[in-house]
Amino acid sequence: MHVLITMQFDGTNYHGFQVQKNAHTVCEELQNALERLYGVRPPVKGCSRTDAGVHAEGYCVSYRQPKPIAPQKLPLAINRFLPDDIRVFAAREVEEEFHARYSSVSKEYIYRIRNSRVADVFRGRYEWRVSAPLDTDAMRRAAALACGTHDFRAFMSSGSDIEDTVRTVHFFRVERSGDEIVCHICADGYLYNMVRILVGTLVEAGAHRMEPEEMAQVIASRDRSRAGDTAPAQGLCLYRVRYSFT
Amino acid sequence: MHVLITMQFDGTNYHGFQVQKNAHTVCEELQNALERLYGVRPPVKGCSRTDAGVHAEGYCVSYRQPKPIAPQKLPLAINRFLPDDIRVFAAREVEEEFHARYSSVSKEYIYRIRNSRVADVFRGRYEWRVSAPLDTDAMRRAAALACGTHDFRAFMSSGSDIEDTVRTVHFFRVERSGDEIVCHICADGYLYNMVRILVGTLVEAGAHRMEPEEMAQVIASRDRSRAGDTAPAQGLCLYRVRYSFT
């Protein structure tokens, strides 16, 4: 039986999801847990690569069960063997051809900014603290220009050899509550570091270091040096992955 | 100049606020920071004793400044020398006779419960996870009976030699949002472990292991063994201290 599990993880202590040599990853911990549960180590398919330090509220993984366990029993069964900073909270059966990454319809990320001269001790590991007062209206105007289908090459970190850099952003919202600013983006896919560079560019607009309307020219330039800095990993959280059935 | 500073701390790694021998405390870290700032180590007055592992959103401390620094500059000046899990976010001048503890009018605590079979990886350090489904309406009915002026001796851990066990609870609210339950209490003062034992008793009512209306008899009994267990420290957070001027 093929299953899709959904998990939360605090990425602070991990080098992202994907297994790497000489680095502690979420996938490695998950496979260790699955090996203890099933007696064999099943290959797993993650919904995305995530950078070191990035968090997840709804990371999805699919795999073929080496022996059948009812999906409703899986979260507690797997959690017994996982460290406290990773938790499976949902599981369901999926078709054999399902792939957590390639079957996804869209992915949502949340990026959290603390716009304050003082860090929040409870939220500090999950936010980018920006001292300069940010104009959220300017951030919203810049974000609106990123919505739709564009070539996002200007928002891709070097080191990626991807050819097709066109993506569709379904929405890109900026909400403020006190000194917390939450940027919520949904797209059909993302280039390497795309969300973090987009957020870095919104902060330029919010700090009045660029005009929000310049966002259109930055996109059109396809030039990484025209966009803002890459926002720190710790503010980023993979919020939700949508499939045809969710 | 006497000042009152307000701070946030994550209590996970501390044995409470108050200085103790052979234990790492918030007060010790604060005094270390003040010593580095002023060159001398000023005595400080905390607003309450807090247990090991308890957190604070608005812990108040008063002290006489060894040399005058403008209150609006104090948060950043002190934070430079504090560890990441303690942050001063406000400061103001107060009268010489002011005492963070004895001048307080009321104190509010928040107690967070995660009513789920699965822990939340981001909130786990700040919540008590309770698997049994909790009836928040029953919890509210029990909480309502604790409001007002009562002898709360049944809600005091042994080891306290306090004589006057009468306190006034101004409000005791129970709010649910998804699987998070937040208990918010405001009183003129608290006995040792009072909030944690009150919450432990609400959970008895919420899990239908006692009738909510029994709360009245538990209070009247003045008998610790009639009340619920002491809820774990990590769910508790000192939320706000009120003074005549706030």
DSSP labels, A22-64: TS--HHHHHHHHHHHHHSS----EES----TT-EEEEEEEEEE
pLDDT at residue A167 in the model: 97
Q: How does pLDDT run across B68-104, given as a tens digit for each residue?
A: 999 999 999 999 999 999 999 999 999 999 999 999 9
The rounded distance, in Å, linking the Cα atoms of A139 and A209 is 11
Identify any residues that bridge with B236 across adjacent strands, giving them in sequence order.
B111
Question: Do the bridges between strand B166-177 and strand B180-187 make them parallel or antiparallel, or are there none, so unpaired?
Answer: antiparallel
Q: What are the residue numbers of the active site of B?
A: 51
SS3 labels along B17-56: CCCCCCCCCHHHHHHHHHHHHHCCCCCCEECCCCCCCCEE
* Rounded Cα distance, B5 and B10, in Å: 17
- Distance, CA of A16 to CA of A51 (rounded, Å): 5
Q: Which residues 98-127 on chain B approach chain A with CB closer than 8 angstroms?
A: 117-122, 124, 126
How many Å apart are CA A200 and CA A90, to the nearest integer?
Answer: 33
> Do A88 and B122 make contact, defined as CB atoms within 8 angstroms?
no
Task: Confirm or reject contact between B14 and chain A (CB < 8 A).
Answer: no
Is the pLDDT assigned to residue A161 strictly greater than 90?
Answer: no
Cα A183 to Cα A189: distance, rounded to the nearest angstrom: 17
Asked if A3 and A94 touch (Cβ cutoff 8 Å), the reply is yes
Tell me the chain A residues in contact with residue B85 when contact means C-beta distances shorter than 8 Å: 121
Joined together, the tokens standing for residue A122 give 């409870």
Of B75, B85, B119, the CB nearest to A118: B75
Q: Measured between CB atoms, does B159 come within 8 Å of chain A?
A: no
Pairwise CA distance, residues B104 & B245, whole Å = 10
B8–A121: do the CB atoms touch at under 8 Å? yes
Query: Would the CB atoms of B88 and A120 count as touching at under 8 Å?
Result: no
Q: Nearest to residue B7, comparing CAs of A120, A137, A26?
A: A120
Rounded to the nearest 10°, the torsion over CA B181, B186, B190, B194 is -20
CB contact under 8 A, B122 and A79: no
* Res A7: pLDDT: 97
Distance (Å) from the alpha carbon of A57 to chain B's nearest alpha carbon: 9
pLDDT in tens, B168-184: 999 999 999 999 999 99
B129 touches chain A (CB under 8 A): no
Residue A153 DSSP symbol: G
Which residues of A fall within a CB distance of 8 Å from B79?
118
What is the Cα–Cα distance from B33 to B211, expressed in whole angstroms? 49
Using DSSP's 3-state secondary structure scheme, residue A122 falls into: coil
User: For tokens 């006497």, what's the residue?
Assistant: B2
CB distance B155 to B169 below 8 Å: no
Residues A174-231: pLDDT tens digits? 999 999 999 999 999 999 999 999 999 999 999 999 999 999 999 999 999 999 999 9
Tell me the residue length of chain B. Answer: 246
CA distance B17 to chain A (A): 16
φ/ψ of residue B15, rounded to 5:
-90, 50
Q: Which residue of B has its CA nearest to A87?
A: B121
Residue B158 pLDDT exceeds 90: no
Q: Confidence class of residue B215 from pLDDT cuts 50, 70 and 90?
A: very high
Compute the mean pLDDT over every residue in chain B, rounded to the nearest whole number: 95
Q: Find the mean pLDDT for residues A131-152.
A: 97
Closest CA to A98 of A7, A2, A17: A2
> Residue A143 pLDDT more than 90?
yes
Q: Does A84 touch chain B (CB under 8 A)?
A: yes
Residues from chain A contacting residue B119 (CB–CB below 8 Å): 84, 87
CB distance A121–B79 less than 8 Å? no
Cβ contacts of B204 within 8 Å, gap of 6 or more: B210, B228
pLDDT beyond 90 at B22 = no
Asked whether the beta carbons of A201 and A133 are under 8 A apart, the reply is no
Contacts of residue A79 in chain B, CB cutoff 8 Å?
118
Q: Do A124 and B86 touch (CB under 8 A)?
A: no
User: Is residue A72 pLDDT above 80, yes or no?
Assistant: yes
| Domains observed in chain B | 2-94 (3.30.70.580), 106-242 (3.30.70.660)
Residue type for position B168: T
pLDDT tens readout for residues A16-59: 998 888 889 999 999 999 999 999 999 999 999 899 999 999 99
- Longest Cα separation, chain A: 57
Identify all chain B residues contacting A119, using CB atoms and an 8 Å cutoff. Answer: 84, 87
Specify the amino acid at residue B107.
K
Quick one: tokens of B174? 């129970």
User: Which two three-digit tokens encode residue A229?
Assistant: 């800095």
Residue percentage of chain A with pLDDT more than 70: 100
Nearest to B56 by CA among B100, B97, B3, B1: B100
Q: DSSP secondary structure string, B160-211? A: ---S--EEEEEEEEEEEETTEEEEEEEES---TTHHHHHHHHHHHHHTTSS-
- pLDDT of B224 higher than 80: yes
B162 pLDDT tier (thresholds 50, 70, 90): confident
Nearest to A118 among B9, B79, B124 (CB): B79
In this prediction, residue B149 carries a pLDDT of 97
